[in-house]
Amino acid sequence: MTTRINPSILAADFVNLEAELARIASADLVHVDVMDNHFVPNLTFGPQMVGRIQDVSPIPLDVHLMISDVDRWGPGYAELGAASVTFHVEASDDPVALARRLRSIGALAGIALKPGTEADAYLDVLDEFDQVLIMTVEPGFGGQSFMHDTMPKLRRVSEAVRAAGLDVRLQVDGGISLDTIGIAAEAGADTFVAGSAVFGADVPADRIAALRDLAAA
């Protein structure tokens, strides 16, 4: 699986988003964190904003939905043209049905697992998803420290994906930096979200390249 670096615009300047997106054009996808102040204790933006990001972004959208009632709201993000839509399993009444719906609209479908959410219930249905997002912080805020204790779960999912010969991306999100990306790569991640590590750099493109090199090392 080729390495993907997906900068999170949560760490970008929200009033200059078009210019911020241009600074990360060498990345693979732009990670878009949608929060509703209900599923997580923070609030970002919704479909109208994501639609405009979709219009102006030089790279495809990797939408991360940290919202409740995602069965109702999730498909709209696929209809906007997002390349992938990832939702938290607790927020859906039927994650497999929602993933099928997202795929039928033309998006890749991902499930997200919070640090305290076990993967076991999903290991037998991994073929229903294109991506599993292993959260490496508690969802809600950028700039938190990488939780090393999430790595055994990543390894377990990675082994299950490999054993079944599936084409499922393993994404990590939270605290990914020059210091931690190698740890997650070694445990099986191939897709890396980085917010503060990219937008906190003087030259985001150089930081993206450095992260990419370390992930592949």
Residue 62 is labelled as binding a ligand: no
Return the number of the residue (137 or 161) whose C-beta is nearest ligand DX5: 137
- Residue from 110, 140, 188, 204 touching ligand DX5 (CB under 6 A): that is 140
Q: Among the options 36, 130, 173, 190, which is catalytic? A: 173
- What does the H/E/C string look like for 60-109? CEEEEEECCCHHHHHHHHHHCCCCEEEEEHHHCCCHHHHHHHHHHHCCEE
- Residue from 20, 28, 33, 130 touching Zn ion (CB under 5 A): that is 33
Q: Among the options 33, 62, 130, 190, which is catalytic? A: 33
Return the number of the residue (44 or 158) whose C-beta is nearest Zn ion: 44
Interface with Zn ion, residue 62, by CB under 5 A: no
Q: How far is the CB of 114 from ligand DX5 (least distance, A)?
A: 10
Residue 206, number of CB atoms within 10 A of its CB: 12
Has 33 been annotated as catalytic?
yes
Residue 68 interacting partner from ligand DX5, Zn ion, none (CB closer than 5 to 8 Å by kind): none
Number of residues that bind Zn ion (CB under 5 A): 3
Return the number of the residue (33 or 190) whose C-beta is nearest ligand DX5: 33
Interface with ligand DX5, residue 196, by CB under 6 A: yes
Residue 141 is labelled as binding a ligand: yes
* Residues lying near Zn ion in the complex (CB under 5 A): 33, 64, 173
User: Catalytic residue numbers?
Assistant: 33, 173
* Residues lying near ligand DX5 in the complex (CB under 6 A): 8, 10-11, 31, 33, 64, 137, 139-144, 173-176, 193-197
Residues flagged as binding site for a divalent metal cation: 31, 33, 64, 173
